[in-house]
């Protein structure tokens, strides 16, 4: 190789090496990482557990705390007719009574140690006096009107002899039959008094035992 060719070869090698060094010093461009698009998250379907229904059997009713039922009050029934009939029979035979006079029968008063229906006793006395040939009885309508005038209820028992005689004067009666139920409520006694309204004199009195039915 001649001298000129050798210089040309050296120059070519130098150019080649300088190019390689330049390429080595220049960093290669870094590609930016492109963001990966997020994929939509798919939620798994929600499964609701099925709980089996267990039938509840009704248990026994506990009555240990229940309030005991109150017993119904005892209703007493009396044989008032058996007591009233003989007493009225004796009263109709009393002396000193003018036949045909007006008689007022007062409601029977309860003087026992308990509760009883004295209306039944009053009705029994009225039934015993029906058809008698000695007295004219004051009707229940007359008594109701007179009691209304005095501010009393039709079934009100006057409670005293003086009040009974005052009502008898209002209805124009000459005699009043005043009666009480006395004693023990289980075995009461029917007491009756025939009084003259004008003087208050007791012309006759009697009493009889009343049996329960």
Per residue in 92-148, pLDDT (tens digit) is 999 989 999 999 999 999 999 999 889 999 999 999 999 999 999 999 899 888 888
User: Is 178:171 a contact under the CB 8 Å cutoff?
Assistant: no
Q: SS3 of 97, please?
A: coil
Res. 70 pLDDT band, cuts 50 70 90: confident
pLDDT at residue 32 tops 60: no
Give the whole-angstrom CA distance, residue 132 versus residue 129: 6
In terms of pLDDT, which residue wins out, 122 or 152?
122
Alpha carbons 60 and 82: distance in angstroms, whole number: 54
Q: What percent of the chain has pLDDT over 70?
A: 63
Instruction: Identify the pLDDT of residue 36.
Output: 53
Domains of the chain: 80-209 (3.40.50.10610)
Give the pLDDT of residue 146. Answer: 87
144, containing H or E segment: helix 140-149
Tell me the whole-structure pTM to 2 decimals.
Answer: 0.63
Q: Is 196 helix (H, G, I), strand (E, B) or coil?
A: strand
Q: How many CB atoms lie within 10 A of CB 158?
A: 20
Question: What is the structure's pLDDT at 150?
Answer: 79
What rounded mean pLDDT belongs to the chain? 79
Check residue 183 and give left, alpha or beta (phi > 0: left; psi -120 to 50: alpha): left
């Amino acid at each position: 190789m001649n001298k000129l060719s050798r210089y040309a070869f050296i120059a070519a090698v130098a150019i080649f090496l300088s190019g390689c060094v330049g390429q080595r010093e220049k960093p290669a461009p870094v590609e930016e990482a492109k963001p990966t698009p997020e994929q939509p998250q798919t939620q798994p379907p929600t499964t609701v557990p099925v709980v089996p229904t267990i039938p509840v059997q009704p248990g026994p009713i506990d009555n240990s705390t229940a309030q005991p039922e109150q017993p119904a009050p005892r209703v007493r029934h009396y044989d008032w007719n058996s007591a009233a009939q003989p007493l009225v029979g004796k009263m109709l035979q009393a002396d000193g009574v003018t036949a045909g006079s007006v008689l007022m029968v007062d409601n029977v008063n309860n003087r026992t140690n308990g509760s009883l229906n004295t209306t039944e006793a009053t009705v029994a006395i009225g039934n015993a006096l029906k058809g008698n040939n000695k007295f004219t009885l004051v009707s229940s309508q007359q008594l109701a009107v007179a009691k209304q005038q005095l501010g009393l209820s039709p079934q009100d028992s006057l409670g005293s002899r003086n009040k009974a005689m005052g009502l008898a004067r209002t209805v124009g009666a000459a005699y009043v039959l005043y009666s009480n139920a006395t004693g023990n409520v289980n075995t009461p006694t029917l007491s009756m008094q025939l009084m003259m309204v004008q003087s208050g004199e007791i012309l006759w009195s009697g009493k009889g035992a009343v049996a329960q039915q």
